[in-house]
Amino acid sequence: MNADSRIIVALDVSSLESAIDLLDKLPDVSFWKVGLELFVSSGPEILAILKERQKRIFLDLKFHDIPNTVAGACRAAAKYNVDLLTIHSTCGKDALKAALVALEEGAAAVDKPSPKLIAITLLTSLNSRQLAFELKVPLELPEYALHMALLAKETGLAGAVCSPQEVEQLRMSCGDDFLLVCPGVRPKWADGGDQRRSMTPKAAINAGADYLVIGRPITASTDPVAAFARICEELG
């Protein structure tokens, strides 16, 4: 896999116009993430535009609800023909199973390939102290992230989203065929922002990540094209 195809650039903008502007500025990016802000503000039109431009799509809506609701959401999302879709592991096994079945049913109904459903283990904005004292989780953070990933794997999901700091352990425990997507990736020359468990792109790939989600170091740069090229060069 080429270095540039392992980078998912986050379209974390508030309007369709801003998103299209980024697409125009970065024609060499092949894989884009559409998250909550853009999807809620602008609807699914951006997904059609990405498809027209033959881009791969990570629809990062992080579903988190009861089994019936996440199943309905996944069934509806299947029609967009995206590549990756996210759900929180903390929904529990019943919801994860229901979501996976509904996603496959929804894709079959529109004669499209089923997106890969991947689980959120723990948001990369959270650290060990917050996990223990705010969320009252009585596990060490790496152990908790591993448990969430294994829950997803046991349920039949295609992979998980995790911090690059946990990816090496998850790779060893979940195997090579389990997709691991890492946000919280920051080049040394970029601002860390609100990420608490970050790592450089090269280190994250070496640790076992399949894909890296990178937003602001590229999209907020004064020269997004140069920033994307620099990260690709660093990945070799």
Can you give the CATH number for the domain in which 33 is found?
3.20.20.70
Total-model pTM: 0.94
Q: How many domains does the chain have?
A: 1
Q: Which domain holds residue 145?
A: 3-235
pLDDT of residue 196: 57
Q: Give residue 63's identity as a one-letter amino acid code.
A: F
pLDDT of residue 191: 67
pLDDT of residue 124: 87
Closest CA to 80 of 24, 14, 34, 149: 34
Catalytic residue check, 33 = no
pLDDT of residue 74: 98
Using 70 as the pLDDT threshold, list the residues of the chain that sit under it.
191-197
Whether 70 and 100 have beta carbons less than 8 Å apart is answered as no
> In angstroms, rounded to a whole number, what is the distance separating the alpha carbons of residues 44 and 6?
24
Choose the catalytic residue: 25, 62, 97, 112: 62
